[in-house]
Each structure stands twice: as C-alpha cells, then as structure tokens.
C-alpha cells in the first residue's frame, strides 16, 4: 500500500515537471523559428525593393502565423494531458491540508515589525497526522463509512446539507462504519484504508465519509456509483497530507 501511494506521488510530480518543461521548450522553439524566418524573408523582400515597413509587417505576420499555432497547440496538449492524468474520475487527488498561521510579536504592548507567516516543520506535520490518525484516540478521524445510494447519498457539501443515509452493517461482514488501517506515507502524509465485503446483492453506494468514533464528519467523497453483489469487495483509501 505505502509503495503504491509513494509511486503515484512520484509519478504525479514527474508528469507535472514534464508539462512545465514542454511549455518552455515549445516557446523556445517558436522563438527560434521566428528568428530564423526574419532574416530570410527580410532579404528576399528588400531585394525586391519593398519598403522596410512592409517587409517588417510581412515578416511579423509570417512569424505569428508560425509561432501562435505552435504555442496554442502546446498549451492545449498540456491541459489535455493533465486532465487525463488528474481528472476526478481517475486517481485524482485534491489539495492537501494547508497549514496557515500568523505570528505577532509585541514589546511593551507595541507590535514589533509586522505579523508574519511561519514555517511548519516536518515534525509539526507529523504531529497533525498523529492527532488525526491515532487509532487509540477517541477523536481520531480513522473511521470509514459508505453512503446508501438507494436511500439518499448526495454529493458532500461543506455544511453537511446534502441528503445522506449511511449503509448499515447488515449487508457487510464486520461493522459499518469500519475503523480503517492507517498507513504512514512520510512527513504529514498518511492513508486510512479498508476493504468492505458485501453479504447482500444489489447494494448501491457512491459516497464515502471519513469520521471519528463519535460519528463527527471530517470529510466526504462522491465517487462513481457501484453496485455490489454478494462477496464483492470495495476498497476505500483516504490519503491525506499536510502542506
């Protein structure tokens, strides 16, 4: 599990770097093409006694005709590639948990300088992970729940206003929700995962919640509707990281 998650992170970083390099390369190529076209066309036009202004305008038009389509094509290619690789329907990852904080220093009740941001240490990211994923703590968010799409399992909203009914444990081996297994993926990066096994037919689900032991909701995810038959297995992996 840890190896697969790390490999996915490495691949995502590599492809992101590749896309940026491709844009830079394409722009550089267009500049080279334009610079090559200018002297050749200028000489031809000047030899025919065409005014410099006209020759310059012609050359600019030619350069733009060559350069602009290449730039547009390159940008569209990058967006298409990134859309295929990181679309929500695939192995898409949303933004991690951002750490934002401000420190203000006062001397004799007077502000020293300005309030400023600060650096989250790797150990600090680990502390956040420990607080959220510590299975021994009652408020740890390491329980995974499935929504009942046959009743109501709407797309999660930040204010929990969506219609939602959890699947009960009657059609699954074990309980519902399930205390997930926590995998440590590095500094402030962890995964809570579990596998549900259906003991009924025609079980519909399309939502998963990450909650604590007191059923307090931490986050929700809407996925493609699946129908589970007896002995079908559904694996849910929540990967969370602090940045």
Separation between Cα atoms, residue 191 and residue 235, nearest integer Å: 12
pLDDT at site 180: 92
Does 218 lie in the same domain as 153? yes
Which among 36, 61, 86 is the end of a domain? 86
Which among 58, 86, 114 is the end of a domain? 86
Whether the predicted pLDDT of 87 surpasses 50: no
Q: What is the residue range of 144's domain? A: 123-241
- The pLDDT confidence band at residue 65, using thresholds 50, 70 and 90, is low
Lowest-pLDDT choice from 54-68, 75-89, 141-155, 191-205 = 75-89
According to DSSP, the β-strands at 203-211 and 189-197 are unpaired
Mean residue pLDDT of the chain comes to: 74
Q: How many helices (H) and strands (E) does the chain have?
A: 3, 9
Residue 209 belongs to a domain: yes
Model confidence pLDDT, tens digit, residues 178-218? 999 999 998 899 999 999 999 999 999 999 999 988 888 99
- Look at residue 198 and give its three-state secondary structure: strand
pLDDT at site 110: 92
Does 38 lie in the same domain as 129? no
Does 128 lie in the same domain as 233? yes
Q: First-to-last CA distance in the chain?
A: 21
Separation between Cα atoms, residue 213 and residue 178, nearest integer Å: 10
Select the highest-mean-pLDDT range: 52-61, 72-81, 137-146, 214-223: 214-223
Does 156 lie in the same domain as 82? no
pLDDT at site 78: 47
- Encoded tokens for 144: 């995974």
DSSP assignment of 22-70, as one string?
Answer: HHHHHHHHHHHHHHHHHHHHHHHHHHTT--HHHHHHHHHHHHHHHHHHH
Which among 67, 86, 105 is the end of a domain? 86
């Amino acid at each position: 599990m840890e190896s697969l998650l790390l490999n996915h992170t490495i691949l995502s970083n590599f492809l992101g770097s590749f896309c940026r390099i491709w844009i830079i390369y394409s722009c550089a190529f267009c500049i080279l093409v334009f610079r090559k076209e200018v002297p050749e066309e200028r000489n031809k036009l000047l030899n025919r006694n065409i005014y410099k202004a006209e020759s310059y305008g012609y050359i600019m038009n030619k350069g733009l005709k060559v350069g602009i389509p290449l730039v547009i094509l390159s940008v569209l290619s990058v967006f298409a590639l990134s859309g295929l690789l990181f679309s929500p329907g695939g192995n898409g990852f949303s933004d991690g948990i951002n750490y934002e904080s401000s420190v203000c220093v006062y001397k004799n009740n007077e502000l020293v300088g300005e309030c400023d941001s600060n650096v989250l240490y790797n150990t600090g990211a680990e502390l956040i992970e420990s607080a959220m994923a510590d299975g021994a703590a009652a408020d740890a968010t390491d329980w995974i729940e499935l929504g009942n799409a046959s009743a109501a399992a709407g797309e999660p909203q930040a204010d929990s206003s969506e219609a939602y009914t959890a699947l009960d444990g009657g059609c699954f081996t074990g309980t519902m929700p399930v205390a997930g297994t926590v995998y440590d993926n590095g500094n402030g990066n962890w995964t809570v995962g579990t596998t549900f096994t259906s003991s009924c037919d025609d079980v519909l689900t399309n939502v998963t919640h990450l909650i604590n032991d007191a059923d307090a909701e931490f986050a929700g995810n809407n996925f493609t509707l699946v129908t589970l038959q007896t002995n079908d297995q559904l694996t849910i992996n929540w990967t969370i990281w602090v940045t």
